[in-house]
Structure 1
Amino acid sequence: MLGRTYENENCSAARALELVGERWSLLIIRNAVFAGMTRFSDFERRLGIAPNILAKRLDGFVADGLMERREGREYVLTEKGRELGTVIVALTEWGDRWAAPQGPPILYEHEGCGGPVHVRVCCEDCGLQPAAADVVAVYGPGSDPQRRPPRAPSRPRTA
């Protein structure tokens, strides 16, 4: 895992991975978001995870504000934790395309109407859904001008 000082990284993706980048983390969050799990024993049994590893992950989630600990050994997602559901849907869709030769083992549906749920990248200005190759990274307000490489990312020119 990445260090906590981020001396060489000023990157929100790197910071997010520090919270949930360990192999069990997103599986625990997945089961909390989509299976409604809250009990230590349910996570342990369903995932087959060692209790010491599970305890460490859950304690970390509480410390980082992804979960709140309730009576006994119950862990409830916060809004911050629930929002990771979108990340899990996106990762699952990628896995369905590239790592599921028999087809998707799980489909996500809107509970209200039963329609399929997908994650899409959409341009806020024009509404188009650009391909990944057409998305560029540019410096944002949280970037450090002193740490920028000599050549900054730029937007493609339009006609």
Structure 2
Amino acid sequence: MQRTSFGEMACSIARTLDVIGEPWSPLILRDVWVGMSRFEQIQADLGISRKVLTERLNHLVEQGVLERRPYDRRPRHEYHLTTKGAELVDLLMIMTAWGDRWLEGQAGPPVLYRHHACGEISRAESRCAHCGEPMHAADVDPLPGPGAAAGSD
């Protein structure tokens, strides 16, 4: 089945969904981030078919989110986050904070984050890049940016 492409839309959310908008991609990125770099490790953790995992890994490499590195003489590769991919993990951490707040269940959050700078257990949150204050949907006015007209071609 052919996936709808959102990459040409004049919308950063749509363009991001074009990279990681199907359910397996964020989970693959999570696994690579926590240290599962080999195909077999990721497949075993997710229970994903070889075909689907191969397609998703190829897509994430093509998008510049993951890179392949050979690890033996046979054509076998490990997968590692690029800088672009590491920044996507920041997005996943925000998703985790939302999931912990609204979907965690009785047992509590499945993962905790220890912040390297202060050593404390914390959660990710959005802050204004200018003033450092928390930034939520109710705190901003979306305005057309310079790329808004690009979608009307």
Q: TM-score, normalised by structure 1?
A: 0.80
- Whether contact under 8 Å (1:89, 1:108) holds in the other structure is no
After TM superposition, give the deviation of residue 124 of structure 1 in Å: 4.1
3-state SS, counterpart of residue 60 of structure 2: helix
Paired residues, number: 144
- Asked if 1:118 corresponds to 2:123, the answer is yes
Out of 118-127 and 86-95, give the one that drifted further: 118-127
Q: Which residue of structure 2 lines up, in the alignment, with residue 140 of structure 1? A: 145
Q: Which residue of structure 2 lines up, in the alignment, with residue 26 of structure 1? A: 26
Out of 118-127 and 137-146, give the one that drifted further: 118-127
Instruction: Assess, with a 3 A threshold, how the Cα gap between structure 1 residues 137 and 40 changes in structure 2: closer, same or farther.
Output: same
After TM superposition, give the deviation of residue 146 of structure 1 in Å: 7.8
Q: Which has the higher helix share?
A: 2
- Asked if 1:15 corresponds to 2:19, the answer is no
After TM superposition, give the deviation of residue 130 of structure 1 in Å: 4.2
Instruction: Assess, with a 3 A threshold, how the Cα gap between structure 1 residues 114 and 125 changes in structure 2: closer, same or farther.
Output: closer
Larger RCO (CA under 8 A, 6+ residues apart): 2
- Asked if 1:59 corresponds to 2:58, the answer is yes
3-state SS, counterpart of residue 67 of structure 2: strand
Q: TM-score, normalised by structure 2?
A: 0.83
Q: Which residue of structure 2 lines up, in the alignment, with residue 3 of structure 1? A: 5
Out of 36-45 and 65-74, give the one that drifted further: 65-74
- Whether contact under 8 Å (2:66, 2:79) holds in the other structure is yes
After TM superposition, give the deviation of residue 118 of structure 1 in Å: 2.8
State, as a whole percentage, how many aligned pairs show the same letter: 42
Amino acid paired to 1:129: P
Unaligned runs of 5+ in 1: 148-159
Q: Which residue of structure 1 lines up, in the alignment, with residue 79 of structure 2? A: 75
Larger Rg computed on CA atoms? 1
Supply the distance in 2 between the matched residues of 1:113 and 1:126 (Cα, whole angstroms).
21
Instruction: Assess, with a 3 A threshold, how the Cα gap between structure 1 residues 130 and 77 changes in structure 2: closer, same or farther.
Output: closer
Amino acid paired to 2:61: V
Supply the distance in 2 between the matched residues of 1:146 and 1:46 (Cα, whole angstroms).
39
RMSD: 2.1
3-state SS, counterpart of residue 68 of structure 2: strand
After TM superposition, give the deviation of residue 116 of structure 1 in Å: 2.5
Unaligned runs of 5+ in 2: 71-75
Match of 2:94 among 90, 93, 100: 90
Supply the distance in 2 between the matched residues of 1:43 and 1:146 (Cα, whole angstroms).
37
